[in-house]
């Protein structure tokens, strides 16, 4: 080795010794901005038990919702390991650079593989109780480690490993055994976001059509509202968007006329061909299309499902009229995925349904109250929901991390698209256009 290199190494060793970091597991570089690895606003209990500085985490209150809870990356980095361990179960370890690693243990499932790039807030799995040392008790065993020996990895799982005291949102935890921290709130916010553009069609009270494009990640309008110069020519009762340029609209009348509306352009206004009458008897109060061939309609609390076999259907392309069941007393209706619908009640409940077939469905109540303020509910897919408040013409946006899990603990508000100006009496989004 050249003499200059030896000298540089000697000086560096003296400098490190002066700082007291030679041979210690304490890090020498700035700690990344770690956040609690759960959805923004959730509160968790942290325990060091007898394995400080490692932490066990369960969801507040009373551990309800721990098993299956969405797990997020605490900071950006690269997945170093994603594997099964007999004692640890499903394990994910992330290299955050600068020698720092986080390890997530006993997971129900893993959503990332070794080599994957992640951002803070990227979904990496779900909390579980796998592995012999979980004691069949759902919790997250979490370790922050520093690669003190410089081998490019971080040991974990035992007192002699390279784990160090975790820091979340600038607060240090795990200082000693037997410590407990209650209601620690996650500030892992703003990184997980949907992708795509929500295409939203609407009908004004005078029968004119509107079109608005919304960036699903930011909630900002990117186009519109564009207006049509002419009206539909009838009073609309229910609206469903099939694709970017095809709508189904029912007429508010005793005949229950169903029309198909073919949109020509949404630039510099909305232009469309004269509505095509498909048939009568469509007295549905609400319509929703799931983007995967199924059209749902509710009339007097009876939910029916139809199968569409064409992008621009005629009546013969609307088949399989199936009565799913009665008692669906919903105020609003939208679809969140294939065979999944979502609606609100007049009392304010938000309810998700997985539709299997005639007299077969699963019901999940995501919220008990407060959603009665919305007169329109729509989803472009990807867990994005928009609620329209007729009182002031506002549109509010929500994000459901997993809209198909029947759980509401991963659903949270993301502010408003606009506080006023949405005067449409009907709104519907192009399904499955956001991921």
List of domains in the chain: 34-185 (2.70.70.10), 197-429 (2.120.10.30)
Q: How many CB atoms lie within 10 A of CB 225?
A: 18
Residue 420, CA distances (Å) to 39, 235, 374, 388, 416 in order: 29, 24, 14, 10, 10
Which residue, 168, 175, 136, is CA-closest to 51? 175
Count Cβ neighbours within 10 Å for each residue of 25-51 and write b for 16 or more, e otherwise.
bebeeebbebbbbbbbebebbbbbeeb
> What is the mean pLDDT of the segment spanning 38-56?
94
Contact predicate 57/44, CB 8 Å? yes
Tokens 């040991």 map to which residue? Answer: 155
Beta-carbon contacts of 291 under 8 Å, excluding residues fewer than 6 positions away, are 335, 337, 338, 381, 431, 432
**End-to-end alpha carbon distance in the chain:** 54
Helix (H, G, I), strand (E, B) or coil at 151: coil
> What is the mean pLDDT of the segment spanning 249-270?
96
- Tens of pLDDT, residue by residue over 265-303, are 999 999 999 999 999 999 999 999 999 999 999 999 999
- Tens of pLDDT, residue by residue over 351-408, are 999 999 999 999 999 999 999 999 999 999 999 999 999 989 999 988 888 898 898 8
Say whether the peptide bond before residue 371 is cis (omega within 30 degrees of 0): no
Strand partners, 400: 411
Give the pLDDT band (50/70/90) at residue 330: very high
Please classify residue 231 by burial: count the beta carbons closer than 10 Å to its beta carbon, then call 0-12 exposed, 13-18 middle and 19+ buried: middle
Residue 249, CA distances (Å) to 25, 39, 98, 273 in order: 66, 38, 58, 14
As given in the structure block, the two tokens for residue 96 are 């955050």
- Tens of pLDDT, residue by residue over 203-226, are 999 999 999 999 988 888 999 899
Q: What whole-number distance in Å separates Cα of residue 30 and Cα of residue 99?
A: 10
Half-sphere exposure of 413 (CA within 13 A, CB side): 9
What is the average pLDDT score of the chain?
89
As given in the structure block, the two tokens for residue 378 are 């729509």
Residue 422, CA distances (Å) to 271, 370, 426 in order: 20, 20, 10
As given in the structure block, the two tokens for residue 318 are 């609307």
Higher local confidence (pLDDT), 19 or 250: 250
H/E stretch holding 13 reads: helix 3-19
Half-sphere exposure of 262 (CA within 13 A, CB side): 10
Q: What whole-number distance in Å separates Cα of residue 234 and Cα of residue 274?
A: 11
Q: What whole-number distance in Å separates Cα of residue 423 and Cα of residue 427?
A: 10
pLDDT at position 32 over 60: yes
pLDDT at position 159 over 90: no
Give the pLDDT band (50/70/90) at residue 309: very high
pTM score over 0.85: no
- Tens of pLDDT, residue by residue over 57-115, are 999 988 989 999 999 999 888 999 999 999 999 999 999 988 999 999 999 999 989 99
Contact predicate 194/218, CB 8 Å? no
pLDDT at position 10: 30
pLDDT at position 192: 57
Q: What whole-number distance in Å separates Cα of residue 17 and Cα of residue 245?
A: 69
> What is the mean pLDDT of the segment spanning 124-131?
96
Phi, psi dihedrals of residue 11, rounded to the nearest 5°: -65, -40
Please classify residue 403 by burial: count the beta carbons closer than 10 Å to its beta carbon, then call 0-12 exposed, 13-18 middle and 19+ buried: buried
pLDDT at position 1 over 50: no
Helix (H, G, I), strand (E, B) or coil at 333: strand
Helices (runs of H) and strands (runs of E) counted in the chain: 1, 34
């Amino acid at each position: 080795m050249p003499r200059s290199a030896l000298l540089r190494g000697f000086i560096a060793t003296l400098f490190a010794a002066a700082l007291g970091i030679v041979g210690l597991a304490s890090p020498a570089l700035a700690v990344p901005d770690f956040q609690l690895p759960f959805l923004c606003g959730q509160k968790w209990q942290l325990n060091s038990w007898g394995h400080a500085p490692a932490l066990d985490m369960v969801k507040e209150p009373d551990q309800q919702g721990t098993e299956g809870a969405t797990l997020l990356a605490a900071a950006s980095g690269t997945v170093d390991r994603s594997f099964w361990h007999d004692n640890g179960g499903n394990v994910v370890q992330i290299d955050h650079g600068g020698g720092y690693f986080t390890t997530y243990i006993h997971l129900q499932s893993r959503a990332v593989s070794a080599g994957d790039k992640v951002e803070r807030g990227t979904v990496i799995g779900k909390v579980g109780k796998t592995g012999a040392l979980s004691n069949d008790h759902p919790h997250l065993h979490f370790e922050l480690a520093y690669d003190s020996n410089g081998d490019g990895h971080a040991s974990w799982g035992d007192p002699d490993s390279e784990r160090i005291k975790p820091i979340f949102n600038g607060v240090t935890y795990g200082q000693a055994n037997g410590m407990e921290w209650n209601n620690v709130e996650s500030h892992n916010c703003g990184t997980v976001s949907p992708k795509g553009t929500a295409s939203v069609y609407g009908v004004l009270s005078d029968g004119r059509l509107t079109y608005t494009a919304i960036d699903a990640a930011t909630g900002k309008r990117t186009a519109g509202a564009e207006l049509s110069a002419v009206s539909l020519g009838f009073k609309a009762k229910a609206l469903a968007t099939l694709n970017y340029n095809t709508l189904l609209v029912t007429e508010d009348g005793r005949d229950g006329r169903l029309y198909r509306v073919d949109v020509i352009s949404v630039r510099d206004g909305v232009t469309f061909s004269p509505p095509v009458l498909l048939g009568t008897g469509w007295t549905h109060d609400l319509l929703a299309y799931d983007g995967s061939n199924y059209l749902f309609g509710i009339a007097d609390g009876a939910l029916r499902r139809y199968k569409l076999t064409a992008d621009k259907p005629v009546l013969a392309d609307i088949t399989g009229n199936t009565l799913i069941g009665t008692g669906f007393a919903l105020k609003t209706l939208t679809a969140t995925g294939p065979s999944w619908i979502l609606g609100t009640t007049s009392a304010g409940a938000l309810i998700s349904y997985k539709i299997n077939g005639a007299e077969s469905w699963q019901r999940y109540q995501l919220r008990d109250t407060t959603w009665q303020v919305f007169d329109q509910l729509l989803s472009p897919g990807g867990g994005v929901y928009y609620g329209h408040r007729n009182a002031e013409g506002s549109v509010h946006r929500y994000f459901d991390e997993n809209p198909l899990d029947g759980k509401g603990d991963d659903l949270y508000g993301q502010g408003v698209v606009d506080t006023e100006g949405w005067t449409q009496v009907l709104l519907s989004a192009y399904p499955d256009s956001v991921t």
